[in-house]
Structure 1
Amino acid sequence: MDSSPPPGPKPTAAQGRRMRSASRFYAVQALFQMEAADVGLDTVLREFETHRMGAEIDGVAYAEADLDHFRRLLNATVSEQARIDQLTHRGLVARWPIDRIDPTLRALFRAAGAELVATDTPPKVTITEFVDVAKAFYPEGKESKFVNAVLDHMAREARPDAFA
């Protein structure tokens, strides 16, 4: 059974960017949920696709997302997690094990790492977008600077050709 939405009008470029941004935000939430609730990929994909994306819950409207990008990020995170965690570990200035950082940040680094290693999205776009996701989760602002620094290091290692 295909859970893809029925074909409709193609989104404008701006709508496509907003939908891709939403897919990044949802990917961080889904990865956090997978770890916190100890649920598998299929379970979290089904829940987000059926009950969150584009839904209204308790009077809050959730954004439509680029479903393909959301799936790509989650699948790549699961299949490339060891590589992504190594990139993250090397990007952490304090050399803390990834297990010791905040679970939301860990989910964010994994989703961003998946985008860096499994898509052709320009690294600077990935960094900017995930810094914005960090700002949504941590409005105080200090975490976004930390995220920017770690993702820059990860991107330079994962995609050095993009910085030449």
Structure 2
Amino acid sequence: MAKPAERSAARLAAVQALYQMDVAGKGVLDAMAEFEAFWIGREVEGVSFKPAENRFFRDILRGTVSEQVAVDQLVDKALATGWPLARVEAVLRAILRAGAYELRFRKDVPARVAISEYVDVAHDFHSGDEPGLVNAVLDAIAREVREDEMKDRARGPSRPRG
């Protein structure tokens, strides 16, 4: 069983790899190999990169790319009217794509955990309103693709009647 910190590091690495693919035009296999060989669990130029659950990292990266059309549609629908995903800054776009992928295709991860994790990733890169945007967009997506789970959580724990 992976530790939560290794899953968090896998999410961060996946976002970084998606960003690199977006701005540098790298393919998924090249980005995956580079991150696993040179970044994850290593120290680069005085910056330590935490060990990550590689299988989870690969799934987020591959899945986000292979399901990009569906993922982008979810994100576009959740963004403000007139502000398509293509207009969103590249790091934020990578965060939203990875979060949307996980919410839609990784039902084994609780929606609120995924949302919280990607808000934390947004805090790693942004200090303004961006983490709030990530929270709002992913929450809207979760309410669409995991309606029952989100309704159950909104009601809170049930109390015995008697």
Same fold, TM-score > 0.5, yes or no = yes
Match of 2:111 in 1: 123
Q: Which runs of 4+ in 1 moved over 6 A?
A: none
Q: Does 1:35 align with 2:22?
A: yes
What are the within-5 Å matches in structure 2 for residues 7-46 of structure 1?
16-46=3-33
Letter in 1 for 2:86: D
TM-score, with length taken from structure 2: 0.88
Deviation at 1:95, TM superposition (A): 3.7
Q: Does 1:135 align with 2:135?
A: no
Q: Does 1:50 align with 2:37?
A: yes
Report if the CA contact (8 A) 1:23-1:65 is conserved.
yes
Structure 1 vs Structure 2 CA RMSD: 1.2
Report if the CA contact (8 A) 1:73-1:115 is conserved.
yes
Letter in 1 for 2:44: I
- Structure 1: tracts of 5 or more residues without a match: 1-9
| Structure 1 counterpart of 2:52, from 65, 69, 72 | 65
Report if the CA contact (8 A) 1:87-1:158 is conserved.
no
Letter in 2 for 1:128: S
State which structure, 1 or 2, has the greater radius of gyration over its C-alpha atoms. 2
Q: How many residues align?
A: 150
SS in 2 for 1:93: coil
Deviation at 1:158, TM superposition (A): 1.6
Match of 1:7 in 2: none
TM-score, with length taken from structure 1: 0.87
| Structure 2 counterpart of 1:82, from 41, 44, 69 | 69
